[in-house]
Copies of this chain bind each other. A is one copy, B any other.
Amino acid sequence: MSLVNVGTVAFDAIETPFGKTDKIIGGACTYISLAASYFTKGAKIISVVGDDFPKETIDMFSEKGISTEGLQIKEGEKTFFWSGKYHNDMNTRDTLDTQLNVLENFNPVVPDSYQDCEFLMLGNLAPTAQLQVINSFENRPKLIVLDTMNFWMEIAMADLKKVIKEIDVLTINDEEARLLSGEYSLRKAARIILEMGPKYLIIKKGEHGALLFDKENIFFAPALPLEEVFDPTGAGDTFAGGFIGYLAASGEVSWESMKSGIIMGSALASFTVEKFGIERLRDLTMGEIADRIGQFAELTNFKMEYPLVEENR
């Protein structure tokens, strides 16, 4: 089914306890689209880059069946650049440099050929830009998933709440869920956030897995305990891409398909963190992915036997 991914296509420079990179390919929409490509062909990108962005990467998207018609290339301008350094625990990081460049005046345009969109993934961007994309579709997509971050909650909460009202699934991390709801308990936070509009809420907890909520149910997907987290950059976006890619491939929007989607997203994210940037994600085999999904299933699988006190058996 037709999938459109919106978000940044960018350059990153990353420093972790294991090493550092020069400018490498990054951006939310890059990770989302690559992850989704393992489930559904023909995903479409809406983003913007400068004329410094490598043609080989755009060709790589095409080879993976990802349409770049909606990827604007601004002549004489530079691509968005982010640089960060992770601390030893790999859970916290400092931003060393942010150069908005083309992103400063990004006006997301939906090409006519994207109007058949049924699944829409709005990666982290200014809420006004996200809302503009939603409003550019003549027919509302069947499922709209939105990712955002604490930054927008701090400087543009009113705009963010407007776009949250229009979507089906919100993906944020635990700290952001607490900030958005004003509640520490994630279960209480979820109830408040689900009153804001979305039917489903995904709370990402990094190495501690992810929670899915609707108004009645909770599902928990673990993160695979890894030998080493080499570079967490892009893990959340990979998760979102695997999630929406699986849903778009299945065509089904239900509690059951959401649960499977979260496992798929978690499995793909576990690859992304094994190397810098998109190095690991870009060339996975179906066998590797199937193996990893099998590991997830094993990880939480137990038998439902519960003899209570012996004499009651």
Contacts and interface: CB of A to CB of B under 8 A. Distances in A.
Interface-centre pick from A40, A298, A304, A309 (highest chain B CB count, 10 A): A309
A187 B259 contact: no
Contacts of A138: none
B225 A220 contact: yes
A306 B249 CA distance: 10
Nearest to A263: B302
Given A218-B225, A225-B218, A299-B219, A89 B184 contact: yes
A191 B308 CA distance: 33
A41 interface: yes
B187 A39 contact: no
B186 A225 contact: yes
A95 interface: no
A303 interface: yes
Contacts of A306: 246, 260, 264, 289-290, 293
B209 A310 contact: no
Contacts of A312: 286
Interface residues of A, number: 56
A304 B310 CA distance: 33
Interface string A14-33: 00000000000000000000
A65 to B, nearest CB: 9
A241 to B, nearest CB: 14
A309 B184 contact: no
Interface string A274-313: 0000000000001001100100011111111111111110
Interface in A154-197: 184-188
A176 to B, nearest CB: 16
B41 A250 contact: no
Contact of A250 (B187, B217, B307): B307
Interface string A199-234: 000000100110100000111111001111100000
A299 B218 contact: yes
Contacts of A259: 302-303
B220 A222 contact: yes
A225 B88 contact: no
Interface string A36-58: 01111100000000000000000
Contacts of A219: 298-302
Contacts of A209: 208-209, 220, 222
A300 B301 CA distance: 8
21 contacts: A39-B309, A41-B310, A89-B184, A185-B226, A185-B227, A185-B229, A187-B225, A187-B227, A209-B209, A209-B222, A211-B225, A218-B225, A218-B299, A219-B302, A256-B303, A262-B302, A289-B306, A290-B306, A293-B304, A297-B304, A300-B300
Interface of A: 37-41, 88-89, 184-188, 205, 208-209, 211, 217-222, 225-229, 246, 249-250, 256, 259-260, 262-264, 286, 289-290, 293, 297-312
